[in-house]
Structure 1
């Protein structure tokens, strides 16, 4: 029996993956900030006879302190983690800053994925064929990263914040998969294509209309899940892989520049140290 940890696991693709693996007999740990949805997840598990393998951890993953807390709890309860699936994100039309001083999208979509990936290395190194599945939007390129304004204090736009998050995750994958680090987990960056999920967010009227139009043309969640499951169950041999709608991406493109990845890693570590002493 494997242990699968899923952020954003109470809605959309994360929820579908959580129930898929419960039905397969795996142990599933779901992280989200909505206790009502968390209880719904546990209730369904009880009704399907999987209550002993379903675990819900309530956490606001936009906070570094909350990531640290759940990492300690996972370490105490689950000595081995076979797969980490990163789905959590939240669109904001208007700029919002967390109590720790980080722009919300940067904190949730990038910093949380950074902290959880590195924070679970010890547990994943004990697993057979460990994998980190980072569901983002790989391959867009390093252009557009605001190196001196990660929080987008100057000229914030919700879409720009989301796209920057995707670019930062590309570079995160490159750093994590650097052979010099020696991590056993395969790192996979994946965009499943437009999917009819809840697309959680706080939208202005124009963006709300755009999102509804996108949903009309999007694929059902059940169509997006099988390719993701296939990769989690049989991770690529390469330390880093990227896929868009099932097609592998070449890593020989600016989006996966090793110099930019090293720069981001250094900036992130300094940022966490300077602000929070992490």
Structure 2
């Protein structure tokens, strides 16, 4: 029996993965901000006969303090984590700053994944075949990292914020793998492609129309999660790997996985969090 922790596990791809592993007989911990969705998850899990193996942690993962509380709760309840699946993301057409002073997309899409991965690293290492599955957008050419304005105070755009978040997660994977050489934990970045699970966010009219068009041609969620499940069940041999719609990326060919940039981002992140 595995213990699988899923951020963003009450909707979309995260929810589909949660039920997949519950049906297999594993422990599943889902993290999300909505008590109603959490109760719905627990009720459905109970109906599947998986009540004792289902767990919901309510948390706003855009807040550093609540990520730290989540890590503490998981550490208290579980001696081992086999898989950490990072799915939480929320598109915003309009810039929002959290109560802690971070731009929301940066906080939820990047900082949360940094905090959960590093915070649970030792519990993962106790598992036979541990894996961190970061469901992001590896290797995407669009967008860039605004090194002098990570919070996008100057000229915010929702797509720009999302693309920057994907690139930050690419570098997070690089720095995590570099800092855990010799460890068993494998870090996997995966973009399954558009899936018909919705697209969580707050949209301006033009973006909302674009999202509706995207969803009309999206693949069923079962097809979208298949390669994710395969990588969790049989993690790649390399410390870091990345997949885009089922195609494995050559990390050496992509600027997105630059080791110097990864070290730079890691240092900036730790300085921000120390404040």
Report the Cα distance in structure 1 between the residues aligned to 2:205 and 2:139, rounded to whole angstroms.
29
Would the alpha carbon gap of residues 259 and 143 (structure 1) be closer, same or farther in structure 2, given more than 3 Å must change?
A: farther
Q: Partner residue of 1:214? A: 214
Q: In 2, Cα distance between the equivalents of 1:33 and 1:73?
A: 15
What do the CA deviations read for 1:124-182 (whole angstroms, capped 9, x no partner)? 11001100000000012596100010100000000000000000000000000016654
Task: Give the match for residue 155 of structure 1.
Answer: 155
Summarize the Cα distance change of 1:37–1:180 in structure 2 as closer, same or farther, 3 Å threshold.
Answer: closer
Q: TM-score, normalised by structure 1?
A: 0.96
Gaps of 5+ in 1: none
For 1:179 and 1:270, locate their aligned partners in 2 and report how far apart those are by CA, in whole Å. Answer: 17
Shift of 1:108: 0.0
Partner of 2:166: 166
Number of the residue aligned with 1:236: 236
Give CA-to-partner distance per residue, 1:65-114, whole Å, 9 cap, x none.
00000100000001100000000000000000000000000000000000
The answer for the alignment partner of 1:131 in structure 2 is 131
Structure 1 residue 196 displacement after superposition: 1.3
- The number of residue pairs the alignment matches comes to 274
Task: Give 3-state SS (helix, strand or coil) of 1:178's partner.
Answer: helix
Structure 2 CA distance for partners of 1:142 and 1:127, relative to 1, 3 Å: farther
- How far did 1:184 drift? 2.6
* Runs of 4 or more above 4 Å deviation: 179-182
Shift of 1:183: 3.7
The DSSP-based 3-state class of the residue aligned with 1:177 is helix
CA root-mean-square deviation: 1.1
Query: 2: CA distance between counterparts of 1:150 and 1:224?
Result: 30
Is 1:142–1:167's contact at 8 Å kept on the other side of the alignment? Answer: no
For residues 49-128 of structure 1, what are the structure 2 equivalents within 5 Å?
Answer: 49-128=49-128
TM-score, normalization: structure 2? Answer: 0.98
